[in-house]
Amino acid sequence: MASSERIFVQAIRRYCARHGIAVDVRAGGWLIAMHLGEERRFAFGYDIGLNSAIAHRLANDKSATAEALALADVACIPHHLFLNPKLGSNVVGPAWRDDMLKQLHDHPQGVVVKPNEGTSGRSVFKVTMEAELDHAIGEVFAMSTGLVISPYVAIEDEVRVVLLGDVPLVVYSKQRGTDWRHNLDAGAKPVLLEHSEVRTACARLATNAARAIGITFASIDVVCVDGDWRVLEINSGVMMEALAKLHPELVQATYDAALDRVFGEAS
């Protein structure tokens, strides 16, 4: 097993070795084929193959997730979608920049600009003035067909819940360092939550969010703002690279449970 492989790939290799499942790792580990008898199952990126296509697409689209959660009356942070003007005026419309400026003016405390799709806090900007907005727009649209604008809120705590069905397998808070973001790639540290009111509240909210978009295996980020918990985003791919450095057995057990579901469905 190559030590440079992602934890996700290593976990799948371990599971398959224990269960007599052949593994074929391609594309530098981003595509994994698993063979059991006549059945072939795939993992792609950090997606283990349990979610429907529509649930996967909703989760990967921050604006669509927010809209679906609002329809289900699940508390969430709004994400307003703006398409890249390079797509053409017939698609984007002429007033896209004015609409962005209205978002900024409506939220004097600032807004957050980020790609509509993507993870790990890349190309995420806190904006409080028009010049910063123009910079953020240019950076995000240089690498994305769409961006979202959210009101900046003072996040008191952020918790990630890894769900399999209605079962919260992992619940941990993200303790940020000097950065204003709670992303693990930005230096935040995962701290497991034991049985508590906070853990129960976050797990309940995450479960409601997962049901709202019909997703089976996901990591769901919830944030506390003014004492209330809201969904920030849903991730169809379950990435636990940072957590595995501290709790490798828990991470392996979580992927094992998901793979049990995968091959249970295959049998």
Per-residue tens of pLDDT for the chain, all 267 residues: 556 799 999 999 999 999 999 999 999 999 999 999 888 999 999 999 999 999 999 999 999 999 999 999 999 999 999 999 999 888 888 889 999 999 999 999 999 999 999 766 678 999 999 999 999 999 999 999 999 999 999 999 999 999 999 999 999 999 876 675 556 655 688 999 988 999 999 999 999 999 999 999 999 999 999 999 999 999 999 999 999 999 999 999 999 999 999 998 544
Phi-psi region of 102 (alpha: psi -120 to 50; beta: other; left: phi over 0): alpha
Q: Which of 147, 85, 142 is nearest to 112 (CA)?
A: 147
The pLDDT assigned to 228 comes to 97
- What's the predicted TM-score (pTM) here? 0.90
Domain with CATH 3.30.470.20 in the chain: 53-77+154-246
User: Which of 238, 229, 253, 221 is CA-nearest to residue 56?
Assistant: 238
Query: 76 — phi, psi (to 5°)?
Result: -155, 165
**CB neighbour burial string for 159-171, b if at least 16 within 10 angstroms, e if fewer:** bbbbbbbeebbbb
CATH architecture assigned to 53-77+154-246:
2-Layer Sandwich (3.30)
Compute the distance between CA of residue 155 and CA of residue 220 in angstroms, rounded to an integer: 16
Q: What does the pLDDT read at residue 178?
A: 63
CATH of 80-151, one of 3.40.30.20, 3.10.20.30, 1.10.286.10, 3.30.1490.20: 3.30.1490.20
Residues of the chain with CATH 3.30.1490.20: 80-151
- Amino acid, res. 90: N
What pLDDT sits at residue 2? Answer: 54
Count how many Cα atoms sit within 13 Å of the Cα of residue 88 in the half-sphere of its side chain. 2
d(CA 251, CA 142): 35
Three-class secondary structure of residue 155 per DSSP: coil
* Cα–Cα distance, 249 to 245 (Å, whole number): 10
At 152 the pLDDT is 97
- Give the model's pLDDT for residue 267: 45
CA–CA separation, 259 and 98 (whole Å): 48
| The pLDDT of residue 56 | 96
